[in-house]
Structure 1
Amino acid sequence: MPPVSRSASQPELTALFASVQQHFLNVIVPLWQGPGWNADMALPYEALDAEHQPLPPQRYRAMACARQLYLFASLIGQVPGAEERAAALFRSLQRHFHDAEHGGWFYSVDAQGAPLDQRKDLYTHAFILFACAHYRDKVREPLVESVLNASLEVLAQRFATGDGLYEATLDRDWASLDSGPLQNPLMHLAEAFLATLSVRDDLDVQHALVELCTAMHVRFIDPQHGVLMEKPLGSVDNWFEPGHQFEWYYLLESSALLRGSKLHGSLQRAFAFTEQLGVDQQSGAVRAMLDLEPGGGVRDATQRIWAQAEYLRALTLRPDSEADVLRQLQALQQRSLHAGGWFECRDEHGEVSRRDMPSTTPYHLATCYRGLAEYLD
């Protein structure tokens, strides 16, 4: 593709963004106000099929509830009924998932609402903190603040390992399961800490965030290529995911506190390497999983919509990136969005491999579009 000047591509990019944003507000969000909402449980179904019918529910996850709470909190004042839906999701988070005996929140409940997987995982608790921070910013209710504080307390007292990192999973009663730290939940914890700091001054959270990123650089960054591995260095069967590289890059680059940290420097230097290995130059598709070992390569070439969204969002913070942003937004629209919603995955050949639409995906689109809006502003 020939280079596109900023002045030439700005109107096209602005118009294209308006189009995908309307698709989001007019097609995707209503899926979760209507067919994707189980009114009896006051919870989102886990996924809808291509005909907008709920997949038969096997479980409901606290993480999915929290992601939808973020979604509707972000739409308050923009979409009719968003504030009421956010309030319902917040109540459901407490009613269905809070562990009154041991504290914290269960991973999931079954189709009838009874506790199912009662373990406590960092990924879930990070999203509860993330959602409550955004919701608290919109409603300023004391109860939301108290849940936000409770989640911070659980993270510090139960999950923290004392070296800046956090256990990925603990038993219901907080007993160790020897899970150790894992990259993905730690990334979402960093995101949740940033969300908390965006709505209030909190020196403890600021300190925890800096310590987390310092420890991530020591324990997860491959010293040769500068990419973040999914498991701590030295773990058996390790790999890295380009989508997570781009997601981390955005979080670090967009934060005045974290920009200039060692972790940020590594991901900044590794950006081109990640693109080279992890992005198909013709289609713009982001590959799911890559190996670094000698003779390694693509471990999983699945093309997931969330990784496309994270790559696009990361590009908005790269220098002289307008042509790339335009190209990737075109790729997202043409390859992942359709009149009835979105395609969750394509396979290595570019064929649609998943037609169901999970309730967790709109969070990625919402954060991506927020990044684009700030870029165009």
Structure 2
Amino acid sequence: MSPDPSTELKAAARQATAWLYETALPLWLEHGVDRRRGGFYEALSHHDLSPVHDYKRLRVLSRQIYVFSQGAQRGVSDAGAAVEHGLDFLLNRARHPDGGFISRLDLDGEGLDQTRDLYDLAFVLFALAHAYRLTRDGRLKAEALALLDFIQTSMRHPAGGYVEALP
């Protein structure tokens, strides 16, 4: 009799989940959070876990806020603090003065690419939603609604839909 594929799939899912929450997240919490300058590193070296790039992208910042929000909900130690750390960098360093958030910053949080990219902004909304679900901080809901308003008013394409990026 051959093994039940659903049993094998469930076992693989348990292994993947254990790896994510017991190995990957703790590694990123220890080495991927830029505690000195804010935000998160883009990638880590396979050799010594040092940062690989000299920039930080909005998309990665937003995804890490989401991932650490998930970790915090599952009880991963220090994940909630990483969410707050990422939100601080997002809301205080990555904001564009004309609305939305810039696509790329240097390691110190200075703007390298002022583009407001719709795909990146979707990740910001995703991050804000999951951080709000974790914290119930009304400020995050207000930020998400303000970003939606920015997208609706500033990124709407005259022929329908939305522009991909500003400028």
TM-score, normalization by structure 1: 0.42
Asked whether the equivalents of residues 136 and 145 of structure 1 are also in contact (C-alpha less than 8 Å), the reply is: yes
Aligned to 1:83: 80
Report the Cα distance in structure 2 between the residues aligned to 1:76 and 1:163, rounded to whole angstroms: 42
Aligned to 1:50: 46
Report the Cα distance in structure 2 between the residues aligned to 1:8 and 1:91, rounded to whole angstroms: 47
Spell out, residue by residue over 1:111-136, the C-alpha distance to the aligned partner (whole angstroms, 9 max, x if none). 22211111111111111111111211
Report the Cα distance in structure 2 between the residues aligned to 1:89 and 1:112, rounded to whole angstroms: 14
RMSD (CA atoms): 1.8
Asked whether the equivalents of residues 43 and 51 of structure 2 are also in contact (C-alpha less than 8 Å), the reply is: yes
Asked whether the equivalents of residues 66 and 127 of structure 2 are also in contact (C-alpha less than 8 Å), the reply is: yes
Report the Cα distance in structure 2 between the residues aligned to 1:160 and 1:82, rounded to whole angstroms: 36
Q: Which amino acid aligns with 2:5?
A: S
Q: Which amino acid aligns with 1:117?
A: D
Aligned to 2:4: 8
Asked whether the equivalents of residues 31 and 52 of structure 1 are also in contact (C-alpha less than 8 Å), the reply is: no
Q: Which amino acid aligns with 1:89?
A: G
Asked whether the equivalents of residues 21 and 71 of structure 2 are also in contact (C-alpha less than 8 Å), the reply is: no
Q: Highest CA radius of gyration, 1 or 2?
A: 1
Say if 2:95 is the partner of 1:94. no
- Secondary structure of the 2:56 match is strand
Q: Which amino acid aligns with 1:161?
A: H
Spell out, residue by residue over 1:248-276, the C-alpha distance to the aligned partner (whole angstroms, 9 max, x if none). xxxxxxxxxxxxxxxxxxxxxxxxxxxxx
The total of aligned residue pairs comes to: 165
Spell out, residue by residue over 1:52-99, the C-alpha distance to the aligned partner (whole angstroms, 9 max, x if none). 422343211111111101111122231111211111111110111012
Gaps of 5+ in 2: none
Q: Which amino acid aligns with 1:149?
A: L
The percentage of aligned residue pairs carrying the same residue is: 25
TM-score, normalization by structure 2: 0.90
Report the Cα distance in structure 2 between the residues aligned to 1:142 and 1:124, rounded to whole angstroms: 22
Residues 113 and 147 of structure 1: CA distance in aligned 2, closer, same or farther (over 3 Å) = same
Report the Cα distance in structure 1 between the residues aligned to 2:115 and 2:82, rounded to whole angstroms: 27
Aligned to 1:118: 114
Aligned to 1:127: 123
Shift of 1:152: 0.4
Aligned to 1:159: 155
Report the Cα distance in structure 2 between the residues aligned to 1:35 and 1:135, rounded to whole angstroms: 21
Residues 15 and 48 of structure 1: CA distance in aligned 2, closer, same or farther (over 3 Å) = same
Asked whether the equivalents of residues 45 and 54 of structure 1 are also in contact (C-alpha less than 8 Å), the reply is: no
Shift of 1:162: 4.6
Shift of 1:11: 2.0
Report the Cα distance in structure 1 between the residues aligned to 2:108 and 2:80, rounded to whole angstroms: 26
Say if 2:105 is the partner of 1:105. no
The counterpart of 1:29, out of the listed 21, 25, 36, is: 25
Higher relative contact order (CA 8 A, sep 6+): 2
The counterpart of 2:15, out of the listed 14, 19, 23, is: 19
Shift of 1:29: 1.0
Asked whether the equivalents of residues 56 and 107 of structure 2 are also in contact (C-alpha less than 8 Å), the reply is: yes
Q: Which amino acid aligns with 1:84?
A: A
Shift of 1:157: 0.6
Matches within 5 A, 1:199-348: none
- Secondary structure of the 2:5 match is helix
The counterpart of 2:139, out of the listed 143, 154, 162, is: 143
Spell out, residue by residue over 1:298-325, the C-alpha distance to the aligned partner (whole angstroms, 9 max, x if none). xxxxxxxxxxxxxxxxxxxxxxxxxxxx
- Secondary structure of the 2:73 match is coil
Asked whether the equivalents of residues 35 and 52 of structure 1 are also in contact (C-alpha less than 8 Å), the reply is: no
Spell out, residue by residue over 1:341-369, the C-alpha distance to the aligned partner (whole angstroms, 9 max, x if none). xxxxxxxxxxxxxxxxxxxxxxxxxxxxx
Asked whether the equivalents of residues 128 and 140 of structure 2 are also in contact (C-alpha less than 8 Å), the reply is: yes
Report the Cα distance in structure 1 between the residues aligned to 2:158 and 2:35, rounded to whole angstroms: 42
